[in-house]
Structure 1
Amino acid sequence: MTSIFREDILEGRVAVVTGGATGLGLEIARTLGRHGAKVAICSRKEDNLRPAVKELVSQGIDARYGVCDIRDMTQVQKVVAETLDAYGRLDIVVNNAAGNFPAPLTGLSPNGFKAVVDIDLLGTFNMSRAAFDAYLGEHGGTIVNISATIQYTGMAMQAHVASAKAGVDALTRTCAIEWGKNKVRVNVVAPGGMTGTEGYSRVTAVTGTRTHSPLGRHGSRHEVADAVLFLASDAASYITGATLAVDGGACLAR
């Protein structure tokens, strides 16, 4: 697919993408890499990471991986340290790793609720803080957090996810305020209904595939990845603390 962005827009930069072995995370890693970035992806499952990196390398992307549970700060710090050892810098962090399963409130256990909050919100904090402490705080850079739009309107069977993503939005704005003086930009990309992802498949299996988008369709992974690329690039050099909804206007029409 031909990109509307200049191919070298991220030349010389290094990105970490959490949850980068599959689905949207892999698409984001591919998009950043195709535009010049060296990419480190992390996930809990090495069996997913190995073929993902092999695929990226086969496409001419300088890529590596680290096995990491982002709920564990020690593991997150190790991935950041390994990335810095390998590439000598870290410019872009994409907090994409997420948990999702449909469950009504009356069928949602405290452990199930906590698991999603820990992956989505605590994981975003851990990677952001580890990257800031190790490199971004002194050198500047950009963080893009992947959120959602369901927290703006509410959605049945998604209380845990909506709560976690609302926290991600609030954390993003606070990071933007506190870290701006360090030349660190922090923004949100909030996808709506998006085909080709595990979360989409799980939710629509229960709720159906009807779209509320004024554009009359669901989105695609590459459309979300392009939004991440924009916010990670110098084209967004004066944008921080912002939320970019990539949902075809669906959150306006619910």
Structure 2
Amino acid sequence: MDMKSFSLEGKVALVTGASYGIGFAIASAYAAAGATIVFNDIKQELVDKGMASYKEAGIDAHGYVCDVTNEEQVQAFVKQVEEEVGVIDILVNNAGIIKRIPMCDMTAEQFRQVIDIDLNGPFIVSKAVIPGMIQKGHGKIINICSMMSELGRETVSAYAAAKGGLKMLTKNIASEYGEYNIQCNGIGPGYIATPQTAPLREVQPDGSRHPFDQFIIAKTPAARWGEAEDLQGPAVFLASDASNFVNGHILYVDGGILAYIGKQP
């Protein structure tokens, strides 16, 4: 096997919402594999922070302000990237939010906001980059799904609905554009140690683990939270020529949670 098939040399990779966290980790791995990195965020302040982080990591990234739910903005953004950086070879739909609110306490407006960012956003950005990929003769789209693409849990009705929809959007993009040598796959992270999940891992005043932390450790065969770096290898694989015959697949990087029924009490 030619290991060069894992190289991203000469490729332009757009990772949405990649100022920090999972998106930043994936973009950093792409840069190490040779790709030119483009990212966006919704505010200039976040883009500036992201640019500082990339610079500190020695990565020459290109940052833009763009709201992924605004189709006109996204079309203009993609056109600008094509003119200033190059046609996008790799798209990672990473931008997303979660609202942990019991379903009967959640307003329809809150529900729509999660759906808009987590599901409509990937549709809008994918739609904007696919024509360039068709013209170029290849493309990789990677949607950041979730275990909630498969499972439900208390307080995440909107998130689960969006991520379940994103799983099926992934399969449909693969079905509709596979003939153009475009592969669309998803990554379903397990519980990852990021700034957003830090409150769920705080040590309690009595020195014990947070109850949710205990729950996740007990439910994960790996017996730990994932790190953002755990997603880098799978992300590079799905962005590279090594995955050219992998299409419409969701790769769950969850430490084994989805395979595990849990220990008997």
User: If the length of structure 2 is used for normalisation, what is the TM-score?
Assistant: 0.88
Look up the match of 1:180: 178
- Opposite residue 51 of structure 2, the aligned amino acid is V
2: CA distance between counterparts of 1:242 and 1:151?
12
Q: Offset of 1:99 from its aligned partner?
A: 0.8
Alignment of 1:103-142 (within 5 A): 103-133=101-131, 135-139=132-136, 140-142=138-140
2: CA distance between counterparts of 1:204 and 1:79?
37
Q: Offset of 1:204 from its aligned partner?
A: 6.4
Look up the match of 1:247: 254
Alignment of 1:153-172 (within 5 A): 153-172=151-170
- Opposite residue 248 of structure 2, the aligned amino acid is G
Look up the match of 1:14: 12
Of 44, 51, 56, the residue aligned with 2:49 is 51
2: CA distance between counterparts of 1:181 and 1:207?
48
Is the 2:149–2:165 Cα contact (8 Å) retained in structure 1? no
Cα separation, partners in 2 of 1:217 and 1:165, compared to 1, 3 Å = same
Identity of aligned pairs, percent? 31
Q: Offset of 1:168 from its aligned partner?
A: 0.3
- Say what the alpha-carbon RMSD is for the aligned residues: 2.0
Q: Deviations over 1:173-196 (max 9, x none)?
A: 000011011111000000011112
Report how many residues are paired: 248
Q: Deviations over 1:22-59 (max 9, x none)?
A: 21111111111121110110010211111312332343
Is the 2:7–2:34 Cα contact (8 Å) retained in structure 1? yes
Question: Unaligned 5+ residue runs, structure 1?
Answer: none
Classify the secondary structure of the residue corresponding to 1:208.
helix
Is the 2:148–2:164 Cα contact (8 Å) retained in structure 1? no
Of 96, 99, 106, the residue aligned with 2:97 is 99
2: CA distance between counterparts of 1:225 and 1:80?
24
Q: Offset of 1:90 from its aligned partner?
A: 1.2
Higher mean alpha-carbon deviation, 98-107 vs 203-212, is at 203-212
2: CA distance between counterparts of 1:203 and 1:120?
22
Is the 1:40–1:63 Cα contact (8 Å) retained in structure 2? yes
Question: Unaligned 5+ residue runs, structure 2?
Answer: 203-209
Residue 68 (str. 1) matches residue 76 (str. 2):
no
Q: Deviations over 1:107-164 (max 9, x none)?
A: 111111110100010000000000013x112212100000101232211111110000
Whichever of the two has the greater Rg, that structure is 2
Classify the secondary structure of the residue corresponding to 2:150.
helix
Residue 218 (str. 1) matches residue 225 (str. 2):
yes
Classify the secondary structure of the residue corresponding to 2:30.
helix
